[in-house]
Chain A
Amino acid sequence: MIKFEDVGKRYPNGYEGLKHINLEIGQGEFVAIIGLSGAGKSTLIRTINRMHDVTSGSLTVDGTDVMSLSGKSLRRFRRKIGMIFQSFNLITRTTVIKNVLTAFVPDMPWYRSLFGIYNEEEKMKALEALDKVGILNKAFVRADQLSGGQQQRVALARTLAQSPQIILADEPVASLDPVTAKQVMNDFKRINQDMNISILINIHHVDLALKYCTRVIGISAGEIVYDGPSDKVDKAILNQIYGGGQEEEV
């Protein structure tokens, strides 16, 4: 369970990125976080794995106080939390399978990681992860020869290979076309349902958020303005989240 208690984030220049955030996210939830650019969506998601520090309040993940972690304990903590980026962040000039195998490096002895020697078990796990996202047939293709959607699936497989309890996705479909975006969202949904992994996703596409996620959190200027089931989200709520700037799109 992820628990925010009165969490705030103030940048060194005084700007308040997050204000009084109170949230509880149970294991296995599929949550969409929506809001304008700059509202604090990314900041919120990145505090969970400590890519950003919080400056007040308390943030716990399964009882662990995230701000108390450092060095080795932080690295071990991050192993439980996967993350997906808008730009995939793959090693493009190598094969898909080797990208997935990078997920095992932190648990390997240094001499194996230095020369990139992986054992049978790791290779099987990597292939299984690729199978789960439906791109097993691309295992030995160079990552930069895949389409955007396929690259995002490789990133997803890499995350699955570390057997996470939580997956954080920072604008995972923002650079994909509508059809591919839906396919990737389907992958998330399947992973969420089959493996009971909690998924938190930052997303600009309100329609996708409402269609795939069970819970929606709306953020405006660093504050939560809506938190509830996705089927209760209506125009009035969207207006509140997007400050009335939302056109007739939904």
Chain B
Amino acid sequence: MSISQIILELFEGLLVSVQIFAITLLFSLPLGLVVALGRMSKNSTVSGITKVYISIMRGTPLMLQLFVVYYGPYYLFNIKLNPTYRNMAVYIGFIINYAAYFAEIYRSGIQSMPVGQYEAADILGYSKVQTFFSIIMPQVIKRILPSVTNEVITLVKDTSLAFSISVMEMFTKAKALSSSQTSMTPLIVAGVFYYVFNFIVAYMMEKAEKKLDYYK
């Protein structure tokens, strides 16, 4: 198998990895906000439930969570799902896991806002919703962007965990090719792909950070 064939094969896998990455972000970023608000809720039932949820998501391996999401419906409830559920399981597993991490980042950002900001909004006659979206959120986003960047970069690498339930993403392919060709090359090529992917992510986040930092 020539190197160009390996690259082509892995590139197909990369597209799947990118898909997992994009869908996870698309849903976990807003879901994280909902979880964060639940975590800060004055209602003790709501805050209690979200606290346990976050604790489990952060306290157990993502690989194990993927297994539970994928095999759980069959083992626990005897529901037979067709194999295409595999991709769905990966999305669900990643989204609920990452939402928990994002929620904690949001919460730390929101709680770091000085009381004075809320007071100033109060005396200007802002409603709670206006205060949150016009005063608090824009400032929180600037503060938490570096932590979010960290998480996003981790996510790029974590997509390889989809290997554990045999989703045909880049790492799964690299591992298969490496065994069949008895060669190191596919793993190295995959490593380069991951690195470039992250390099682009880091670059874009840095741009966003700079753009937000001034006059906005």
Binding site for B on A (CB under 8 A): 49, 51, 75-79, 81-83, 85, 87-91, 93-95, 102-103, 105-106, 110, 113-114, 116, 140, 142, 158, 162
Q: Is B125 part of the contact surface with A, judged by Cβ < 8 Å?
A: yes
Bound-state Cα–Cα, A117 to B122, Å: 21
Of B64-72, B101-109, B112-120, B155-163, the stretch lying at the interface with chain A is B112-120
* B133 and A78 contacting across the interface, CB-CB below 8 Å: no
B134–A51 contact, CB under 8 A?
A: no
What chain B residues lie within 8 Å of A87 (beta carbons)? 114, 116
State whether A114 touches B134 (Cβ < 8 A).
yes
Task: Known A-B contacts: A114-B134, A116-B134. Give 20 more (CB < 8 A).
Answer: A51-B123, A76-B125, A78-B122, A78-B125, A79-B125, A81-B123, A83-B119, A83-B123, A89-B114, A93-B213, A102-B134, A105-B126, A105-B134, A106-B130, A113-B130, A113-B133, A140-B215, A142-B215, A158-B124, A162-B125
Interface of B: prevailing SS: helix
Q: What interface size band does chain B fall in?
A: 20 to 34
Cβ A105 vs Cβ B117 within 8 A: no
A85 touches which one: B116, B127, B134, B216 (CB < 8 A)? B116
1/0 per residue, CB under 8 A from A, across B190-216: the answer is: 000000000000000000000001111
Smallest beta-carbon distance B117→chain A, Å: 6
Structural contact, B142 and A93, CB atoms closer than 8 A:
yes
Interface of chain A, main secondary structure: mixed
Q: 16 A-B residue contacts at CB 8 Å?
A: A51-B122, A75-B125, A78-B123, A89-B119, A91-B138, A91-B139, A102-B134, A106-B124, A106-B125, A106-B127, A110-B130, A113-B133, A116-B134, A142-B214, A142-B215, A162-B124
- Which listed residue, B122, B127, B130, B135, touches A91 by the CB 8 Å rule? B135
Q: Which residues of B contact A (CB under 8 A)?
A: 114, 116-117, 119-120, 122-127, 130, 133-135, 138-139, 142, 213-216
CB closest chain-A residue, reference B142? A93
A90 to B139, CA, bound (A): 11
Task: Determine the residue in chain A with the shortest Cβ distance to B119.
Answer: A89
The residue in chain A whose Cβ has the minimal distance to the Cβ of B115 is: A89
List the 9 closest A-B pairs by CB distance, nearest first.
Answer: A89-B116, A89-B120, A83-B123, A75-B125, A79-B125, A106-B125, A78-B125, A105-B134, A87-B116
In the complex, which of the residues B124, B127, B138 contacts A103, with contact meaning CB atoms closer than 8 Å? B124
Interface pair B117/A95, CB less than 8 Å apart: no
Cα–Cα distance between A51 and B117 once the two chains are bound (Å): 14
Chain A residues with CB under 8 Å of B133's CB are 113-114
Bound together, the chains give a CA A105 to CA B127 distance in angstroms of 10
When distances are taken between beta carbons in the complex, the residues of chain B under 8 Å from A102 are 124, 134-135
Chain A residues lying within 8 Å of B119, measured Cβ to Cβ, are 51, 83, 85, 89
Distance, CA A105 to CA B133, complexed state (A): 11
Residue of B nearest to A105 (CB): B134
How far apart sit A250 and B162, CA to CA, in the bound complex (Å)? 76
- Interface core residue of B120, B130, B213, B214 (most chain A CB under 10 Å): B120
Q: State the CA gap A103–B135 with chains docked (Å).
A: 11
B132 to chain A, nearest CB (A): 11
